Structure 1
């Protein structure tokens, strides 16, 4: 038996002694790092920011900064930062001793967004087709040249995909899209920078819509020609033709709406 083995008894005693000492040491370390002797003294930005306001960031992460430098919840701080205006993505790490570094990527608006429910100018789309909201006028004049995309909720990604695709197809005409709309009934239309509205119709797949836009591109030289005005509406919803309406003007008043067959 073990009781008759002094060597085994000594080993067991040494093992228990060592485990007890380790437990005391670990407990002591945990107690020390949890004490309020190591507060988070500062939060610094890893890089300069253009639109994100540091006071907004500090207010957003303030509830999660309490406690200790070693035990502070970095995930909660990151999530608090990402809830602030203009923040696309945030990362936080311990830096030095008592300091946290925040690495923030800002939102880059590529289009103004307005859904059928609110249509607010403080809503924008980023490059991923995600809607984000910022305070009114915080974009300044930088937003004036951006296109407007309208559609039901949760269609931002689809609108962004089609905007990029249609813009590429329209390049031969020299025209750009100023507004792309998807109605509640899933009917697509777009307004160009010259004021022409192009009706594409309902529930078109991307491929069939491509064909419609390509038809418009091929007809565009004829639609414009030497006319003093550009078309007000080009309706591509017809299976065997295109309806064109020109604005009423002294030069175009005697010109009825055209109906062109697809070539």
Structure 2
């Protein structure tokens, strides 16, 4: 072997590699317990929050931050944060040497949901339980369970169609039988009925917009409700003629 330099070099390299691996294992065995004792110095939210309060975050995480920098359960922190009313999504990660960073996506409320005060709809059409921190003029949407995305989409479509008459939908409702109705900001109810291939909802609302300037009656005033469920016309209900309908033809 002494007369084979290449073999001697290979053996020396192998011995050096083995010694390095042994040293690394020794360092890990010696250092791991000590690394796990690194204290957690700080929990930092990486951006400014609008609805979520710092006190809410601290209260929700206080029992989960016990331990060291390396032993804190990040998944448990994330799940606890996402239980807060205004938190849509949270991300949590370790920042060396002793800090936990948190990023929170807050819900952006665009409407009330249902009849009660406790539920809101965000920009994704997701329903979440929370109370507004300050009074806002938001529309009210309602519909069967799981329909919030579609009701929000319809609200946006109705709002665009109503722009020429200077009105906005204050309420949009989808019934269990999938019939649509909306209430304008001035209180007028517009019944649109169910979607139909020959007379789509959009077409019926456009017909309402076209006739809106002529809906007032010199004898009865403005109608309380307009029934657009007719294929080629509509019916008006006036406050002074309860139960009486005046029908119009296109």
Q: TM-score range by the shorter chain?
A: 0.7 to 0.9
Does residue 130 of structure 1 match 2:132? no
Shift of residue 71, structure 1, vs aligned partner: 4.4
1:13 corresponding residue in structure 2: 15
CA deviation map 1:106-156 (0-9, x unaligned): 222110001xxxx4311000111111101xxx425524x211101111111
Shift of residue 165, structure 1, vs aligned partner: 0.6
1:244 corresponding residue in structure 2: 236
- 1:10 and 1:95, CA in 2 relative to 1: closer, same or farther beyond 3 A? closer
1:211 corresponding residue in structure 2: 203
Shift of residue 204, structure 1, vs aligned partner: 4.7
1:151 corresponding residue in structure 2: 143
Does residue 26 of structure 1 match 2:28? yes
Runs of 4+ in 1 over 4 A off after TM superposition: 4-9, 225-228, 253-256
8 A Cα contact 1:148 1:178, kept in partner: yes
1:45 corresponding residue in structure 2: 45
Report the Cα distance in structure 2 between the residues aligned to 1:255 and 1:80, rounded to whole angstroms: 54
CA deviation map 1:190-231 (0-9, x unaligned): 1111111111112457x9211111000001011036566321
Q: Choose which of 160, 164, 175 in structure 1 pairs with 2:152.
A: 160
Report the Cα distance in structure 2 between the residues aligned to 1:47 and 1:178, rounded to whole angstroms: 34
Report the Cα distance in structure 2 between the residues aligned to 1:46 and 1:39, rounded to whole angstroms: 20
8 A Cα contact 1:194 1:230, kept in partner: no
Indicate the SS of the match to 2:17. helix
Length, aligned pairs only: 246
- Unmatched segments (≥5 aa) in structure 2: none
8 A Cα contact 1:125 1:132, kept in partner: yes
- Unmatched segments (≥5 aa) in structure 1: none
Shift of residue 177, structure 1, vs aligned partner: 0.9
CA deviation map 1:173-202 (0-9, x unaligned): 111111111111111111111111111112
Shift of residue 97, structure 1, vs aligned partner: 3.9
Over the aligned positions, Cα root-mean-square deviation in angstroms equals: 2.8
Indicate the SS of the match to 1:201. strand
